[in-house]
């Protein structure tokens, strides 16, 4: 996962400081990986080395800690600046996840640092737990009990009527059933792009590239998300990857040419001076439609 480490040239802390925010073609930084395996010591070392505790999109350290009941991780993450008000794909905050799973101590820790949920009248530990328990869970939604293909179809219907928020919810439900279906993440990525949620779009595009490395659409979506984030150099690389996989696709060629010619000035630090991203998205929509879903 990491580059080879020479013990004689640097110590572990120095190495972590250099690598703590590295993302190797995925949304999973070393910090996210350490959280997923439940290593508090590694998390503390990475945070000390300056690891970014924001995460990528909805893949945040606090969401992972809440999902797994890692109570002892909260103090370290919160002190480093982790945001407790970033929800998961279903719109649930870390405090709601903790309450739903009856983790009272977690709720006690998160309550003082979380923004008040408007519909919770009693903003207390018991009040939050009672509120969350009174709400229907995702699994109780009748749609969740549908066949994955039917949920996906409902998501596409929502997308076509420009109900992108509901489409995201439906694609997320389907992905819970079929986590290996890359098209669910690509479709959800399109929704995020339409909603202007660049970080979340990037996350789903990267997941697509992991699952299907040779899929031109995944590369294109990756580039589109990077454009929205104004990371034009990496966006160009992603578009070139898409073109290499599908060299005959005229729309990809057009999008790449537009991206390259739209960047009027790039200084030595690779900072873009001016880009007409509004016109870029006209090309993006056409390109997305041209690539087989």
> Rounded to an integer, what distance in angstroms lies between the CA atom of residue 120 and that of residue 90?
18
Cα–Cα distance between 153 and 156 in angstroms, integer? Answer: 5
pLDDT, tens digit (0-9, with 9 covering 90-100), for 216-242: 999 999 998 998 888 888 888 998 999
Query: What is the secondary structure of 255-291 as a DSSP string?
Result: HHHHHHHH---B-TT--BS---HHHHHHHHHHHHHHS
Residues written for the chain: 293
DSSP 178: -
Residue by residue, DSSP assigns 83-95 as -TT---TTS--HH
d(CA 44, CA 148): 39
- Asked if residues 69 and 101 have their Cβ atoms less than 8 Å apart, the reply is yes
Alpha carbons 173 and 24: distance in angstroms, whole number:
27
Which residues on adjacent β-strands are paired with residue 272?
A: 266
Neighbours of 25 (CB within 10 A): 10
Contact 269, 247 (CB under 8 A): no
Q: What is the pLDDT of residue 262?
A: 58
107, 182, 292 from 174: Cα distances, Å: 29, 11, 20
Q: What is the pLDDT of residues 12-51, one digit of tens each?
A: 444 444 444 444 444 567 888 888 888 899 999 999 999 9
Residue 224 to residue 244: CA distance in whole angstroms: 16
The stretches in the chain having pLDDT less than 70 are: 1-28, 56-57, 136-141, 144, 255, 258-293
Q: Give pLDDT, residue 267.
A: 43
Closest CA to 190 of 143, 155, 149, 151: 155
What is the spatial distance between Cα 239 and Cα 224, in angstroms, rounded to a whole number? 8
**124 and 104 Cβ atoms separated by less than 8 Å:** no
Main-chain dihedrals φ then ψ at residue 272, nearest 5 degrees: -85, 135
SS3 72: helix
What is the per-residue pLDDT across 91-107, written as a single tens digit (0 to 9) for each? Answer: 789 999 999 999 999 99
What pLDDT does residue 137 have?
64
Going along the chain from its start, the domains and CATH numbers come out as 12-135 (1.25.40.20), 180-290 (1.25.40.10)
Whether the Cβ atoms of residue 114 and residue 84 lie closer than 8 Å to each other:
yes
**Residue 286's pLDDT is what?**
45
Query: Could you tell me the CA-to-CA distances from 273 to 65, 101, 232, 260, 265 in Å, in that order?
Result: 40, 48, 11, 13, 5
**Residues 216, 217, 222, CA angle at the centre, nearest 5°?**
100
Give, as one character, the DSSP assignment of residue 140. Answer: G
């Amino acid at each position: 996962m990491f580059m080879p480490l020479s013990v004689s040239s640097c110590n572990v802390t120095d190495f972590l400081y250099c690598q703590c925010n590295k993302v190797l073609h995925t949304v999973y930084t070393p910090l996210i990986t350490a959280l997923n395996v439940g290593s508090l010591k590694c998390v503390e070392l990475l945070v000390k080395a300056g690891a970014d505790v924001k995460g990528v999109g909805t893949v945040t350290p606090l969401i992972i800690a809440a999902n797994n009941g890692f109570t002892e991780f909260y103090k370290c993450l919160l002190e480093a600046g982790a945001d407790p008000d970033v929800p998961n794909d279903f719109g649930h905050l870390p405090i709601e996840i903790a309450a739903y799973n009856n983790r009272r101590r977690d709720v006690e820790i998160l309550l003082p640092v979380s923004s008040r949920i408007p519909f919770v009248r009693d903003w207390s530990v018991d009040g939050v737990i009672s509120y969350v328990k009174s709400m229907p869970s995702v699994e109780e939604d009748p749609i969740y009990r549908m066949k994955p293909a039917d949920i996906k179809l409902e998501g596409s219907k929502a997308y076509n009527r420009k109900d992108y928020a509901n489409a995201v919810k439906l694609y997320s439900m389907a992905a819970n059933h079929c986590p290996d279906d890359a098209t669910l993440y690509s479709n959800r990525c399109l929704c995020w792009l339409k909603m202007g949620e660049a970080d979340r779009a990037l996350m789903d595009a990267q997941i697509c590239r992991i699952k299907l490395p040779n899929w031109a659409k995944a590369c294109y979506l990756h580039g589109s998300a990077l454009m929205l984030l104004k990371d034009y150099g990496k966006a160009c690389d992603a578009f070139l990857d898409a073109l290499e996989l599908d060299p005959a696709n005229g729309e990809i060629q057009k999008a790449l040419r537009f991206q390259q010619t739209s960047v009027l000035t790039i200084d030595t630090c690779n900072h873009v001076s001016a880009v007409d991203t509004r016109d870029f998205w006209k090309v993006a929509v056409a390109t997305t439609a041209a690539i087989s879903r």
